Chain A
Amino acid sequence: MIVMQMNGLVKRFGAETILENIKLEIKTNDRIAIVGRNGAGKSTLLKIMAGELSHDEGEIHRPKDVSLGYLSQHTGLETEETIYNEMLTVFEDLMQEERVLRQMEAKMGDPAILSDETSYQQLLAQYDQRQVDFKERGGYRYQSDIRSVLHGMRFYEDDFETAINTLSGGQKTRLALAKLLLQKPDLLILDEPTNHLDIETLTWLEGFLSSYSGAVVIVSHDRYFLDKIVNIVYEISRKHSKKYYGNYTKFLDQKALDYEQELKQFEKQQTEIKKLEDFVQKNLVRASTTKRAQSRRKQLEKMDRLDTPQGDEKKASFSFDVARRSGNDVLKLHELSFRYPDGDEDVFHHVSFEVNRGDRIALVGSNGVGKTTLLKILIGQLQQTNGEIEYGAKLDLGYYDQEQANLNSHKTVLNELWDDHPMMNEKDVRTILGNFLFSGDDVLKSVSLLSGGEKARVSLAKLMLKKANVLILDEPTNHLDLDSKEILEAALLYYPGTLIFVSHDRYFINEIATKVVEQSQTGAEVYLGDYDYYLEKQAEMKELDALNQHTQITTTAEVKHSFASAKQKKQDERKKQRHIEEIEQMIERYEEDIEANDQLLCEPDVFQDHERALELTEATHQLKAKIEQLMEEWESLHEEE
């Protein structure tokens, strides 16, 4: 079933056209990604879909009974209700229906109704219909649904009675998403849902969305996430939309292929045009050939000329540099703990780790364990409750705020940068902004009018100008489009200073981090490797835990099992022993052969015949190589014991 169709859609902001001739079709069970540059109009398109913005031309068709759910980029629930009660509001109608059913049941015993046969029968018929409807609509299921979605979003029974307005920003976003998922709209529109989710929640969401019964439209800059979920990609580029089938990786391949093909066709047509034009020019004036030339000219006029295929749009480019080198020891955190003045529990405690120059540390951990808080303590915005931080020599700290609170929304983009560095001339500031994709009049836009991604780029530009030798980044990849993200990755990879960052983008962490610090309420664990290594270690620990538990519980079944495994082990042992013996024998045999060869080589008629001598030395070499191999095998077998 088609859930929504857009045809020839145009959207303008004032005189500027944002979207032009957008064609889009959404069917039930489609998993659609909308991709494009920051500021390409993806969020605008979603808002038009959701009916929050009007469009200027074109048409949108949506069947009347199709329900629609939209999660915008910066939503969070704001209410005094408790988590569970807020989720219950989604099922208000079902709860009302349940109350009606209970009332009807109570009425059944009413003597007044019982005495009147018609009204009694009517009541029974009504009750029957409503009872069946109630079941069909999930009346018996909604409570378990709420629990499962809340668990997925990592809210547990203990949290259910917590008032929502006491939660953190990330938690509120997660609740808004949870509420939307519970409504189960036919068309689910999510604008960057992955921004505030931690990795576990993301994995859960991937699973949930994959088996979602309606259509899903997502804008996201998380490659892993898109690859897992979507089967159709719409690219918004240069105001137009183009449809690709397959997941995100496939889209990239297809796009490159398309570009190549278009370019080939274009070149082919160009040579053809050139040929025709030449012919016309040469032959038009000659009487004998002028007819032919005229017909060719007509052909030329009729030809559908292809536009020059346009490759990738301009990418942001930047690199981070340092003004001076910091000391080798950058930071030493010792038994740090933090508690909000009005809080009754530590956000975290016993956090200790060291940071050396050149480290690229990823700080991971679930939402709400105080990663942002820790960063804020490092830059001195907050004061730790207990513990010490030793700062190294010659540190210049640069901080990237996930909320972009350091931007002044009344200024223009140009002034935002210029005011911080008044000694620079306008041209230089504009060049830098140009690198961050703000060209021409863009720099005169007010910061408050920028999209999320554009604000992020302004913040990064500011950070770059600071030339700090320690960068502290709080979710730098949020809001950035995929290309900008790649460039940020490259810039950070070649950054000569020290880096501490929080991110939930798995790909990003894996690319950048050389150390992973896992923060939890009870402390911090340092893993000396990238994100894959961290995951490996975690899996290992889990296995170990499971193993420990396993050994603790000894049951008769296990005794049986251990007997079988012991038998197997003995068998393996014997097999190995045999194998070792075989190897030893073979080595012995080869050694004998070598000796024989050596003796042969000493005989005069052999060493004078150079061909035969060569043959023999060759054979000896091969035998030696074989022995070497066998020795290695023998060694490894012994090591196993």
Chain B
Amino acid sequence: MAENFSYLLDKGEKGAKRLEEVIRLVESFHGLSQNPNFKKKFDLHSLTIVENASQKICDTYYKNLVSNKAVMESKNGEATRVNRYKIISGIELAICEVQPFVLNNDTNLRIINSYFAVFAAIGFLLAWEDGTDYLIDYAFPNLNPSEQQEIHRLLIEHIDWLCLVNSNYNLHYFSNAQTWWALRMLLKELNEIR
């Protein structure tokens, strides 16, 4: 039976824009997988994209948003809001649910898809305009090796966690959003203070 992607289609032009963004990220990550260093790291022969991967990710994202928004409903009827960190969190969890890439061996399947989730999350973070401020323009000239290693380790721990996540459990959604919020604040501080 054909998938109808009704949650995505209901979003109209906003959904179309989100789909374009996800397609760009999927194609970019797939392109990276051709790199010899990438292949060596994951003992990879080839990486294949599942059919309609980007549509599935977006549809899953919007489907999950409905249940997550239900948790956010305020008691006084005020409209609920989804900030950029919740969007990033939702995209990561949708990727983990869909598993858009398949490999010649399944050993590293969840690992590679988790790396892709972080790739997409960072893409969203870099590309978000904050006044005149873009994370892509940040520089960390005085970041010492120990600090750099620690942030690197944090991301690896996050990828390990993504490998274990297999549902849109509401607590995952909110807790993961907080992780990205905290990381964004840390990077902003490191960029501005030093």
* Real binding pair: no
